[in-house]
Structure 1
Amino acid sequence: MSESRREVLAGVRRLVVKVGSAVVADEGGLSREVIEGLAAEVSRFQRQGYEIVLVSSGAIACGRRKLEIPSRSFTLAEKQALAAAGQSSLIQAYEEAFSRYETHVAQILLTREDLEDRRRYLNARNTLRVLLRWRVVPIVNENDTVAVEEIQFGDNDLLAALVVGLVEADLLICLSEVDALYERDPREDPSARPIPLVREITPEIEAMAGRRPGRFGRGGMISKLRAAKMVNSLGVPMILASGRTPLVLERIFSGEEVGTVFLPGKRRLSARKFWIAHGTKPEGRLVLDEGAVRALREGGKSLLPAGVRAVEGEFERGACVECVDEAGHPVALGLTNYSSGELRCILGARSCEIEEKLGFRGREEVIHRDDLVLL
């Protein structure tokens, strides 16, 4: 086992395993062999003391096969209908497979809106924590039946990364139809070589990803790199490997050079800042002067009213807003202590002037540094 892999696996007790559509489903429908093998492995790991959350795609592909609808381009409503038909079969297959190993499972269906709202986010986190404490394997999927385009995750790679932050996992294992990150898309260049270790996702690494999505999924290598960047920012490593490889989890934890390992950097976000950076959707924009930008980037300071030049959009207190410099370049994301209307009253104001301008004693900071993430 290489030193890097030993460090990645040392101390791992809670992990998220993401399974792609092309792993659990094919043209013939659900792959019972893959689901059976996954259930056997996860159950063995659970008995060894690991806590595992499974993020599984496959509902739409399963529904298409179940209803015997040929592959083609589907409308959003048709995808939602296929997901409704397929999700029941997908969870039933997992239920049956895990029951043979006396392992209980629970279905968790989420939309992006569930994780953008802090209260609902915390409710989901508490539910998952209880299930893990009860030795139940949560099986998470996007709630495609009700998720309109505005509240979709886009693909389950992003959902899996957010679940890592949600449950504070130690490792993300992404099981895909591809067995690693390659120098170039191996579907287009069979001579491309796999990359066993990525220490930092640079533009050169991103250029290696093919733009084509998977056979059944919406993602592709680009979305997997995005998921890796997200969990790496949290201080969590990710391993990309083939979900069709027999005993893939056993081989990973035995130290075999399976797939690609993405190592986290030294700078690590807290769980709260990770949620702000990736789980929220900006509702407005604040334009900052040069001094404020410098204070945030170089001094690690909070944002004060004196540094805000303009307010764009309408939002309430507690909303996520994007902070930009005067040229419009992104600087940070944060949760504001003031509504857009209140902020317009105190633009450029010094802290001692806030109460006079608003008529009440407000917070000194527009965004406290604990609620602010630099971009």
Structure 2
Amino acid sequence: MRLKYLQGVRRLVVKVGSAVITAADGLNRQVIDNLSAELSRFMRQGYEVVLVSSGAIACGRRKMGFHGRSLPEKQALAAIGQSGLIEAYEEAFERYGQKVAQILLTRQDLESRQRFLNARNTLKVLFTWKVLPIVNENDTVAIEEIQFGDNDTLAALTVNLVEADLLVCLSDVDALYDQDPRLSPRARPLTLVEKIDRRIVEMAGDRPGRLGRGGMGTKIKAAQMVTSAGVPMVIAGGRIPGILERIFAGEEVGTFFVPSGRKLSSRRYWIAYNLKPTGAIIIDAGAKKALVKDGASLLPVGVKAVEGNFPRGACVECLDEEGRRVAIGLSNYSAAEIRRIIGCRSPEVCRLMGAQAPPEIIHRDNLVLAEE
């Protein structure tokens, strides 16, 4: 089954975690060299690759000899470590004749549609020039409100940013197990996940990795994101030499996540996963049915209430009367304007807001259902 999804892959995102590329005395140069050699071979074969690499804070900790507790300390450690991290990659890739570029992102860069498109255009040029982008979160300036939280999420967002065909997460744990292998010797790996249900989420748990902020739980979240866009994902051991070749040969290494039959467009993926809601619209049962069953836009007549104080164009949640999320989307109206037209039909909306006012609060093209 794997080969069916891998045969058409031409652009891939490879994420490598801190625990994979660091050792007790600093960066694990052998692992970095193995990874650089393999990715360089893929580039020569015509693949377009983005490497999402953790390790800046961990590298800074090794250099300074202490952990760092506060956010400013972690930001300073990232500044110290990032230069060493990219230097190690440059040296390793240079041995194989492969040029690399560094791209540091915050969530704000991908929330802003213009900055998102600017980043996409830059990456497209790098692909044209046969340069391998190395992406990391800009930890030096990222405060809690604009952090991705972990590089698994960043990798999943990068898949949409570059319109990749595959995400490979290289971890110190070589697969998803039915139990935590660090705690149970009876744990067994899953080689294939066709649907991410509650059972799979519970298997992942929320225990973080040795050095990074993520863990298996964040990888499952990333898998939910990319498979919803029709993109497969693999979790595999990052220290295994030739792991990518083995994956592309169809070997049952790691855990393969089958993509969903339904595929979110790039724009709707951006709405669903890049944006944070700044308010909520409470809708009645009729509006819920129109959104979920009929694929309709959200009209004022189906709105019961508004929560928050957001401007036009803001990302908002649509909640049913029990508070469950039905959808997320971009509002044509501010919170104050919606309060003026709650329950109104289209002619009344035009009378209150002007003849050119849009009839819908959220157009269906700017709306993503919670179940998608």
TM-score (norm 1): 0.97
Partner of 1:89: 84
Kindly provide the CA deviation profile for residues 73-132 of structure 1, in whole angstroms up to 9, marking residues without a partner as x: 611111111100000000011111111111111111011111111111111111111111
Show the counterpart of 1:141.
136
Q: Which runs of 5+ in 2 are unaligned?
A: none
Letter in 1 for 2:46: G
Name the residue aligned to 1:172: 167
User: Offset of 1:360 from its aligned partner?
Assistant: 5.0
Distance 2:355 2:339 in 1: 15
Spell out the pairing of 1:202-281 with structure 2 (5 A cutoff).
202-281=197-276
Contact 2:303 2:343 in 1 (8 A): yes
| Residue 355 of structure 1: how far off its partner (Å) | 2.2
4+ residue segments displaced more than 3 Å:
none
**3-state SS of 1:49 partner:** coil
CA distance in 2, matches of 1:131, 1:360: 46
* 1:31 corresponds to 2:28: yes
Query: Partner residue of 1:48?
Result: 45
| Cα offset, 1:25, TM superposition | 0.8
Q: How far did residue 28 of structure 1 move?
A: 1.2
TM alignment of 1:1-375, pairs within 5 A:
4-69=1-66, 71=67, 74-375=69-370
Cα RMSD after superposing both structures: 1.0
Tell whether the 8 Å contact from 2:287 to 2:302 is kept in structure 1 after alignment. Answer: yes
Q: Distance in 1 between matches of 2:207 and 2:270?
A: 28
The SS at the match of 1:282 is: coil
3-state SS of paired residue (1:299)? coil
Amino acid in structure 1 at the alignment position of 2:37: A
CA distance in 1, matches of 2:280, 2:355: 24
Q: Distance in 2 between matches of 1:310 and 1:90?
A: 50
- Give distance in 2, aligned partners of 1:160 and 1:196: 21
**Letter of the structure 2 residue corresponding to residue 371 of structure 1:** N
State the distance in 2 between where 1:355 and 1:254 align.
60
Amino acid at match of 1:331: V
Kept in 2, the 8 Å contact 1:354–1:361? The answer is no
Distance 1:68 1:340 in 2: 50
Question: Which sections of structure 1, spanning at least 5 residues, go unmatched?
Answer: none
Count of residue pairs brought into register by the alignment: 370
Measured in 2, the distance between the counterparts of 1:228 and 1:178 equals 16
State the secondary structure of the residue aligned to 1:207: helix
SS at match of 1:236: coil
Shift of 1:368: 0.7
My pick for the range that moved more, 257-266 or 360-369, is 360-369
What is the distance in 2 between the residues matched to 1:359 and 1:275? 30
SS of the equivalent of 2:204 reads coil
TM-score normalised by L of structure 2: 0.98
The percent identity for this pair of structures is 65
